[in-house]
Structure formats: C-alpha cells, structure tokens
Structure 1
Amino acid sequence: MPSWVGKSPSNTFNFLPERMWKVVRGWSDRPLSRAGKEVMLKSVIQAIPVYVMSCFRLPAGICDKMRTTVSNHWWGIENGRKKMHWRSWEWLTTPKAMGGMGFRDMELFNQAMLGKQCWRILTCQDSLCSKVLKGRYFPHCDFWQAPQPRSSSYTWRSLMHGKKLLEKGILWRVGDGKKIRLKNDRWIQNYSLLKPTVSLQDDITVNFLIDEETKNWNEAIIRTCFSNEDAEKILQIPLSSTSCDDFPAWPLSKSGTTKDEDCALAYGSRLFANSMHLRFGAK
C-alpha cells in the first residue's frame, strides 16, 4: 500500500499489474483446464489489487494493464503471442446471471470499493476515519454536500469518485422527511424524479408533505401538488410513528445495506453500465 501518491499516480500504482503478470507467468508450466483457469484468475489474480482499490482510485492506464493480463491469460498465449480473443471484454465482465463470465471490470470494481468506503463514512460516523475526514473536509455539512477542494488529498478525491456511484443507486427511506430534498433526491422505489404540477422550490424537503400532528401523509397537499400517479406512489410509502431520522438504503441488496453481499455495489455498477450502454464486478 503506497503511503504517498505523487504527481504521477501511474508510476505509484504500476507495481499492481507487474505483480499480477509475475504470478501469471508462474503458471505457464502448469496445464489448467478452462474451469481451473477461471477459478485461479478470479480468486488469485483479481484479488491482488483489492486492498489498494478500496482506498485509492487507480488510473485508467493501470486498469487497462490489469485487464490485458487477465484477458490474455484467459484466451491463452502460444509461442510468446496472444491467441485470438473470441469475445469482448464487456462480455467477460458481465455477471453470470446476465449471461457473461463474471470477471471483474477493474474500473467499475474500483469505484464500487470506494463506494463501500463512503457507505462506511455514512453509517459508522463514530469511527476514527469518519471523524478525521469530517473534521478536515465537511465540518459544517453532511457527507452528501462535502466539497472537493483543490488542496484535497488523493484519498479524498478517490472517495468523491466512489460517492458518485452511491448517488446513482442510493434510495432514501423516509423518517421525519427533513433531510430528503423533495425534487432532487431519490426516495421512491423504481422512480427517479418527481414532476410536481405546481411550482415548488428546489430546497423543499419531504416533511412538507407530512402532517406534523398525525405523522401521516398530508393527502390533500400531495394530491394538489402532484399527478394522480405520483400521489399514489407517495401515499404507498409507510411512515414511522416515532419520526425517526431519514436514512439512506441500497436497494440492490436484500437488507438495504452494502454488507448484505460483498458484490452488491459492484453488481450495481455493472447494472448501471449495461443500462447506459443500451440507452445510457464482482465475480
């Protein structure tokens, strides 16, 4: 793990693809079946950069070198020359549940690991790491409004890259509604953006739609401000009688957290990438 990242991140992290290549070369005299080669690549080679990827954003050139190492060894090398690659890298990195081979896309997985660190900052605010980062970068606001100053460290800039993934997939659960921006935040399942029928300010929060006395939805205001379809979706959201704080959830796992599956964020990032490729890794 590098203790300092200089002006050339590529030189700093170049040891990762070199280490992967050395391990692959050590297998050249071992006859492996296709299944054995897949297991070795996924469990050994792809595990080498995981710890570094959970703290730093790797340059695209480093990810390409790691991709080349995995891809060339999967298809084979004969007499010092790589064999024909019969399928694309996108197919190799598509999860098996979606018809691919399930190899990790290093760039997407890197962002997923950084997203998990951001999730820990959100959910473990009493940890030493969270307290240090908050005191340094966002002492007067929450993590979602945290800035990225020019003087920020490479670690913080890497975390901001992971936060972008969380912002794409996060789903807010309604408590008292004071933290959720009504128009800009995603708080309705399978729904991205509300379209009010009346003019509302961008900074209005969801508690505007909640009756403070009964702790239930104010149906009259909701049906006045939104279409019938949007109003029905809002009214179906259950509210807590204790008015707990709003909290973020990850809808791509059963428990609503990234702890449910190690690959929850990485699988989510692959879903985003595929949907964006059509319109727009964990093993």
Structure 2
Amino acid sequence: MAHALFTKKFLAKINTIIRNFWWAGHQEEGSSTPFHFRAWDDICQPKSMGGLGIKDLYNVNKSLLLKTAWNIVTEKDPNLTAILKGKYFHKSSFWTAPSSTPKSLFWASILKIRETLTNNCSYQILRGNTTIWNQPWVQCWTNMHNLLSTEQPATALPNSISDLWLPNTKTWDYDKIKNLFGDQAATSIANLTILNQDGPDILCWKPSTSGKCTARDAYNYLTATTHNQLPQTGSRSRS
C-alpha cells in the first residue's frame, strides 16, 4: 500500500468484507448481510473523537504513499531519488515534475498524492540554498515566474533564496524583491523567518510538531480533514 494508490472501489469492497465480519463475526458466501448498528465512518474515527480507532483503508493507503513521497523528496534513499529524478524530473524538481509523461503505476500514484504533500510542506530557511522557482518555500512559490516584473533586470535572475538577501547577511533585500516580484510577494517573503544557524534548508511537514512526515502523522492529518467529530448524544444510521 506504500507503492500504489488503490481505487476507492477496490478499497470499498475490502471495507465491506471487514464490516460484515465486524458485525456478524464471519463472512461466508451467500450469507445474509448483518445489521450495522453504527455508520462505518463513525467506527473508523479515533477514540478521542468517539470512534473505535479502526483504520480507514483509503487514508492508510494515502498516508503510506505520502511517507514514500516524503522519503523521495528528502532523499532518504539517494539511489531511488536519483533514478526517479533521471527518469521523471531531470529538468525540474519533484514538486514541479510534469504529469503528462509516460509513467509507472508507482510514479502515477505518487503524483496523485503530491498536491497533499505540497500543500503541507515548506522549507525552513537556514542557508538559503532552496531554489525559489520550483520548491515550496513561500505561499506564492508556484506563481513566481508570473509575478516577475515586465521590466527584466539587467543582471541575472536570482536562483536561490540567499540571492534575495543583502550581501554577506541573512537579511532580506526588500527593494530587490519588490522590484522583481511586486509589493505583495515582497511582503510575504519579508515576513519569512530566517534561522541564524548553519546548515542546508530543512523541509518541514507542517501538520506535525516534529516537522517530519511519518505514516502516523500523515494518517492523523488525513483523518482530521475527512472526519467530523461525532455528536455527544444520539446515533447515526449506517450510510
């Protein structure tokens, strides 16, 4: 489940088998459908939200894939990342790799969950080595090229975050940024925190206090965004 995104129809069929076993204690061919005393969505909610904590298979599948994608972009396995980069995004980055090229089931699955990863990741700025054009470092990063001033500067365009700093400092060159990208982008960038530490920029998974995307953290995030807290009283009929 960490290497392919299964269809909802396939996972729903497995969920049906699990539900019937849960309520009836068995699953025999031709057996009658047992009565469900509670909606399965309720059963799958965390205990803290009134459920029984049974894992939702679709969210399990996505969370494992998110962890795999995280390992790729953080180069947990440098050889795997190098192979994928050479095949799918040798002219761009993981974040902007095109989806139109022929791809394997594995890479197609990664691309389907990439938006979730992108929306919840950001680089913590230390050395300023992150590329400003194709990596998530500021909210408007996907639109940086379109924000460029129509009057192109005579000097070369900046490439890394550190190119937007005043010389020999870790201070934003606000005038330079404003001339390149306009007032709104300049304000957003100037509000970013730069850590006074040495080392490369660090990719952070924002929903986690640790800053790392684990399968558990990814599942908790997906569960929180797909389930509502159960009512304190009453019950829901099965869906």
User: How does the TM-score come out when normalised to structure 1?
Assistant: 0.60
2:195 equivalent to 1:239: yes
CA contact (8 A) 2:170 2:194 kept: no
Calculate the aligned-residue CA RMSD, in Å: 3.7
How has the CA–CA distance of structure 1 residues 269 and 180 changed in structure 2, closer, same or farther, with 3 Å as cutoff? farther
In the alignment, what sits opposite 1:114? 65
Q: Tell me the CA shift for residue 155 of structure 1.
A: 1.4
Which one of the candidate residues 186, 211, 221 is aligned to 2:166?
Answer: 211
In the alignment, what sits opposite 1:55? 3
Distance 2:37 2:176 in 1: 58
The equivalences for 1:1-283 within 5 A come to 53-76=1-24, 80-124=31-75, 127-175=78-126, 176=128, 178-180=130-132, 185=136, 187=138, 200-201=147-148, 207=162, 210-218=165-173, 225=183, 234=191, 237-242=193-198, 244-259=199-214, 262-274=215-227
Q: Which has the higher contact order (CA 8 A, sep 6+)?
A: 2
Identity %: 24
CA contact (8 A) 1:250 1:256 kept: yes
Distance 1:54 1:113 in 2: 5
**Number of residue-to-residue matches in the alignment:** 208
CA contact (8 A) 1:111 1:162 kept: yes
Q: Which runs of 5+ in 1 are unaligned?
A: 1-52, 276-283
3-state SS in 2 of match to 1:151: coil
3-state SS in 1 of match to 2:20: helix
For residue 63 of structure 1, what is the amino acid of its counterpart?
L
For residue 112 of structure 1, what is the amino acid of its counterpart?
S
Q: Which runs of 5+ in 2 are unaligned?
A: 150-156, 229-239
3-state SS in 1 of match to 2:191: helix
User: How does the TM-score come out when normalised to structure 2?
Assistant: 0.69
Q: Tell me the CA shift for residue 220 of structure 1.
A: 7.5
3-state SS in 1 of match to 2:203: strand
Q: Tell me the CA shift for residue 91 of structure 1.
A: 1.5
Distance 1:185 1:63 in 2: 32
